[in-house]
């Protein structure tokens, strides 16, 4: 097969791109038209040049439009033409150099198309625009100086494109192949919308989202300034990537680093973070970004909720536990000596970025602990999802990226539905309180271990899930087989499923004492989430202390 024959072959787009147009953006001289024509031919799609379509609609040239009506009127017309083109059948569309700078046009491209930035260095652009004085922006002045100014102004906005292809002095055919390969390799992240009475935001799930954080967050940041709160361990692993990803779109960042571990989730740490935010002279439009696990997310979120009576907040969870649980729903809090999460606020993020590539840096124990919250979602109200967990749970904890992304999306979707119906946990019987399945026991176990890492939150919840189903079976709400099924699956993924697996002697009366101090106590009565079977959870406040004591003693607790 000859090279020319290969170029004429039509290549089918993957299903993820089916039905979507392709937009090429970049400065004048980047090759948008020449590459666009070749790309359209390779894909079997029609090609359109936005500038040519504008001239056709206006009946005059672009320079004449600028001269007669000015740039503002030109941009208005450009916006309408692009909207019309992208609302039709799929095509390859070359934007004019300034089209993508318009916020409305970017929003249209984001919804209707896949955008590709042809990023060229200045020397290449200067050579290509030589002799093109008819372009309005090059009419007066040195081409190099004008292009450099445009690079400074526009490249941070072009960086919001879905795909970036670096190109220089290669032939148009070579560049087209690079663009095509990048397009075929691009995997759009999974998206989930959390719709609440107070606000709406997206959870974005996928690989290497930190590299593209600026592009993903740009539509949600009211100001191109952010303060990143992280812990020392996570910062060493992921902070440089996030800072660079934000810098590509012109976001200026500061950092606040706290010690790793549950001890940072305290009133003292909260006040220290708050002082640093105020010292940095944050404004009401400055965004606080939480980069880390649940501790950082809760701490940074509470600080964001209270600094200047509330500043924008973004969650970038880096653990499986935080990606499926604490980053979604708006609960922020710190611990006190009297218990966990007793001081805090409901405060929703502007966006959640769940980067699955960060899970590669987790210790296996941390990854398994996060899985407890995944299985919990199915046990509460989605029996089909729990069946999925039984089939794919081992893949999630082994690092199967597709299984992880699907687990995160499905768990978050379930939680979003529950939170959407009960944002502030005001329905005691069938609302958000159901998300506490396993937590009454789990938090008591965490308090017994002292939040020092001896027992991770997810491990406490894992044991708690088994205890909740055993208590349900003991009270006649579900079968013993259901409890056995839960315990069997939790153990199969490597989590502690029963108290006996903790290898620690625990007093039943001490655990019950911890439960009495839990924030889920109502009118002095313990509130449990029980189950009538897999996916059939309900809340109950009439469980007797004797029944709980009997269960704990049967599980090996001392008096």
Residues forming the active site: 309, 331, 373, 415, 425, 432, 436, 439, 443, 457
Between CA 435 and CA 426 the distance in angstroms is 13
**Residue 93 corresponds to which tokens in the numbers above?**
């569309």
Between CA 425 and CA 251 the distance in angstroms is 35
Between CA 407 and CA 391 the distance in angstroms is 12
Between CA 291 and CA 374 the distance in angstroms is 21
User: 11-17: long-range contacts (C-beta < 8 A, 24 or more apart)?
Assistant: 11/42, 11/43, 11/44, 11/180, 11/184, 13/43, 13/183, 13/184, 14/184, 16/187, 16/188, 17/114, 17/183, 17/186
Cβ-in-10-Å burial (0-12, 13-18, 19+) of 420 comes to middle
Looking at the DSSP bridge assignments, the partners of residue 333 are 344
**Residue 114 corresponds to which tokens in the numbers above?**
């896949």
From the centroid of its chain, how far is CA 494? 26
Between CA 167 and CA 190 the distance in angstroms is 28
| DSSP state string for 242-307 | HHHHHHTTT-EEEEEEE-SSGGGSBHHHHHHHHHHHHHTT--TTPEEEEEESHHHHHHHHHHHHHG
Neighbours of 95 (CB within 10 A): 24
Cβ-in-10-Å burial (0-12, 13-18, 19+) of 185 comes to exposed
């Amino acid at each position: 097969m000859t090279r020319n024959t290969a170029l004429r072959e039509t290549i089918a787009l993957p299903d993820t791109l089916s039905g979507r147009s392709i937009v090429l953006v970049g400065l004048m001289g980047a090759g948008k038209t020449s590459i666009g024509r070749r790309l359209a031919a390779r894909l079997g799609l029609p090609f359109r040049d936005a500038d040519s379509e504008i001239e056709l609609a206006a009946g005059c040239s672009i320079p004449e439009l600028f001269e007669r009506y000015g740039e503002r009127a030109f941009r208005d017309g450009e916006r309408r033409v692009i909207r019309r083109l992208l609302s039709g059948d799929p095509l390859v569309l070359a934007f004019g150099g300034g089209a993508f700078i318009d916020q409305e046009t970017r929003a249209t491209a984001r919804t209707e198309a896949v955008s590709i930035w042809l990023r060229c260095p200045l020397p290449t652009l200067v050579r290509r625009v030589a002799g093109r004085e008819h372009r309005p922006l090059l009419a007066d002045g040195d081409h190099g100086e004008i292009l450099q100014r445009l690079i400074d102004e526009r490249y941070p906005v072009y960086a919001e494109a879905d795909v970036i292809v670096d190109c220089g002095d290669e032939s148009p055919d070579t560049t087209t192949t690079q663009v095509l390969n990048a397009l075929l390799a691009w995997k759009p992240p999974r998206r989930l919308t959390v719709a609440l009475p107070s606000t709406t935001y997206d959870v974005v799930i996928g690989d290497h989202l930190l590299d593209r954080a600026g592009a993903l967050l740009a539509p949600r940041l009211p100001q191109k300034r952010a303060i990143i709160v992280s812990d020392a361990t996570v910062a060493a692993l992921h902070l440089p990537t996030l800072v660079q990803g934000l810098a590509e779109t012109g976001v200026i960042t500061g950092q606040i680093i706290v010690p790793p571990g549950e001890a940072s989730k305290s009133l003292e740490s909260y006040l220290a973070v708050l002082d640093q935010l105020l010292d940095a002279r944050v404004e009401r439009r400055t965004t606080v970004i939480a980069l880390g696990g649940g501790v950082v997310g809760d701490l940074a979120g509470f600080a964001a909720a209270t600094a200047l009576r509330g500043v924008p907040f973004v969650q970038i969870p880096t653990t499986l536990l935080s990606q499926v649980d604490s980053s979604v729903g708006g609960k922020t809090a710190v611990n006190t000596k009297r218990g966990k999460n007793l001081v805090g606020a409901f405060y929703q993020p502007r966006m959640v970025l769940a980067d699955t590539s960060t899970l590669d840096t987790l210790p296996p124990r941390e990854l398994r602990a996060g899985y407890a919250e995944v299985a919990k979602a199915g046990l509460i109200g989605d029996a089909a999802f729990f069946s999925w967990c039984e089939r794919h749970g081992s893949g999630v904890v082994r690092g199967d990226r597709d299984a992880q992304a699907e687990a995160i999306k499905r768990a978050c979707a379930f939680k979003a539905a529950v939170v959407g119906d009960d944002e502030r946990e005001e329905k005691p019987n069938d609302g958000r309180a159901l998300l506490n399945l396993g937590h009454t026991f789990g938090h008591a176990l965490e308090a017994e271990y002292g939040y020092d890492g001896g027992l991770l939150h997810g491990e406490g919840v894992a044991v708690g899930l088994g205890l909740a189903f055993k208590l349900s079976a003991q009270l006649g709400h579900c079968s013993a087989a259901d409890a056995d099924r839960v315990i069997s699956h939790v153990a199969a993924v490597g989590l502690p499923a029963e108290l006996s697996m903790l290898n620690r002697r625990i007093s039943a009366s001490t655990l019950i004492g911890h439960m009495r101090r839990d924030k889920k106590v109502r009118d002095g009565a313990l509130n449990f989430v029980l189950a009538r079977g897999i996916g059939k959870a309900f809340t109950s406040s009439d469980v007797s202390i004797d029944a709980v004591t009997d269960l704990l003693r049967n599980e090996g607790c001392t008096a």
